[in-house]
């Protein structure tokens, strides 16, 4: 019946309808493009694992010849494409996430342009390990922002550390670069870079009733799916963007962002491990009302990673503090603690640190420590 009725439509009506359908198709197309561009970026960069190497004609042993010879990357200086395992001269290159990586020699750099959203916060996750000098530094930059990361200390037992670093964009593309600013006697000496990933850090909001943002540490940097020893977050004095939104890393040593796939986490998908003893801490500034009372609660424990010993976490709410201790056997355990305090300012710092240093049971030198999770601050009416 409906088909018969369509035969009575006038030619002008049909022309108008065709135009409308054409316009609708265009609108749908642009909506699709807008949706695609709005997708949250959270993945390895193009050839960010460096498994796609230069042509054999662009290699002189391991040194890459040619500015654009490393697929998807631009290089300058002495950049090597290396394989995991024993190396000439008695070196050994650990590359636990794959087979290949790049090594940045004296003043060498690699860079890549990435499409991003303007005025957004992103974090980079990447493997970085020193190979020669004790004082190796890695300069990471994105657009006009840059930071020098000290990588002389090895924190992971597998010989390769993973770091995260955050930045803000100003346009719809950004140049991401890794640079070795050092100058060693051996011009090839420098850090290994591997598995470079990027993640858009979405704006965080308060959970109802909790004055702390991201108290469960659910918002954080990219974590590798198949292999992770945790992600190190370094304290950067002049850096206002954190890979753990809402939180600042304090003092001189990093904290470790751990995920529930590779560690024991009390609740949710992530937590923070205090691995640097009294040289590291994590803090957040919250809004408070002077003379009002507040209750800070949090969980502490171990990540089931063979970190053992008598552990202590010191928590601060402004000038008030509490110290909570427990004995860890490294097999996974948590307990809840609390601190009630009276605010004396409109901004109060909530902070945690561990006064002692810890390593794994096997004495491998793998630095570890107590885990913080489920941080909550509520107003107490009295």
> How are beta strands 231-233 and 161-168 bridged, if at all?
parallel
- Dihedral of the alpha carbons of 231, 236, 242, 244, in degrees to the nearest 10: 40
How many angstroms separate the CA atoms of 316 and 209, rounded?
20
Taking alpha carbons only, the member of 163, 111, 117, 164 closest to residue 142 is 111
- Dihedral of the alpha carbons of 167, 168, 170, 171, in degrees to the nearest 10: 70
- Cβ atoms of 310 and 325 closer than 8 Å: yes
The three-state (H, E, C) secondary structure of 65-105, written as one string? CCCCCCCCCEEECCEEEEECEECHHHCEECCCCCCEEEEEC
CATH class of 42-202: mainly beta
Residue 320 confidence (pLDDT) above 70: yes
Residue 148 confidence (pLDDT) above 90: yes
Output the pLDDT for position 327: 94
pLDDT in tens, 182-209: 888 889 899 999 999 999 999 998 888 8
Same fold, 42-202 and 232-380: yes
How many angstroms separate the CA atoms of 252 and 275, rounded?
12
Phi, psi of 312 (to 5 degrees): -140, 135
Q: Where are the domains of the chain?
A: 42-202, 232-380
- Using 50, 70 and 90 to split pLDDT, how confident is the model at 133? confident
Output the pLDDT for position 34: 39
Query: Once rounded to an integer, what is the mean pLDDT over residues 49-63?
Result: 97
Which CATH topology does 232-380 take? Jelly Rolls (2.60.120)
- Using 50, 70 and 90 to split pLDDT, how confident is the model at 39? low
How many angstroms separate the CA atoms of 356 and 370, rounded?
10
Cα 191 from chain centre = 19
């Amino acid at each position: 019946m409906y088909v018969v009725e369509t035969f009575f439509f006038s030619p002008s009506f049909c022309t108008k309808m065709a135009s409308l359908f054409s316009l609708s198709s265009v609108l749908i197309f642009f909506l699709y493009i807008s949706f695609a561009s709005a997708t949250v970026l959270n993945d390895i960069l193009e050839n960010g694992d460096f498994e796609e190497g230069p042509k054999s004609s662009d290699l002189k042993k391991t040194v890459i010849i040619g500015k654009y010879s490393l697929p998807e990357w631009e290089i300058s200086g002495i950049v090597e494409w290396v394989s995991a395992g024993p190396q000439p001269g008695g070196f050994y290159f650990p590359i636990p996430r794959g087979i290949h990586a790049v090594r940045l020699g004296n003043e060498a750099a690699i860079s890549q342009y990435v499409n991003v959203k303007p005025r957004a916060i992103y974090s980079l996750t990447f493997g970085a390990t020193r190979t020669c000098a004790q004082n190796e530094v890695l300069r990471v930059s994105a657009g006009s922002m840059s930071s020098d990361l000290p990588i002389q200390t090895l924190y992971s037992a597998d010989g390769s550390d993973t770091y995260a670093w955050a930045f803000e964009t100003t346009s719809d593309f950004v140049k991401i670069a890794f640079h070795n600013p050092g100058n060693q006697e051996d011009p090839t000496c420098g850090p290994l870079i591997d598995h470079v990933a990027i993640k858009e850090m979405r704006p965080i909001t308060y959970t109802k009733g909790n004055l702390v943002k991201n108290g469960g540490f659910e918002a954080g940097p990219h974590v590798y799916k198949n292999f992770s020893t945790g992600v190190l977050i370094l304290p950067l004095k002049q850096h206002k963007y954190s890979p753990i939104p809402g939180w600042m890393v304090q003092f001189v040593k990093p904290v470790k962002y751990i995920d529930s796939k590779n560690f024991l986490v009390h609740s949710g998908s992530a937590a923070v491990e205090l691995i640097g003893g009294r040289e590291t801490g994590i803090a957040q500034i919250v809004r408070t009302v002077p003379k009002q009372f507040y209750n800070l609660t949090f969980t502490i424990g171990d990540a089931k990673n063979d970190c053992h010993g008598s552990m202590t976490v010191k928590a601060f709410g402004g000038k008030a503090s509490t110290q909570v201790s427990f004995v860890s056997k490294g097999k996974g355990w948590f307990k809840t603690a609390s601190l009630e305090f009276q605010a004396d300012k409109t901004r109060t710092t909530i902070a945690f640190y561990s006064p002692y240093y810890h390593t794994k049971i096997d004495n491998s030198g793998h630095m570890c420590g107590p885990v913080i999770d489920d941080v909550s601050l509520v107003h107490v009416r009295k």
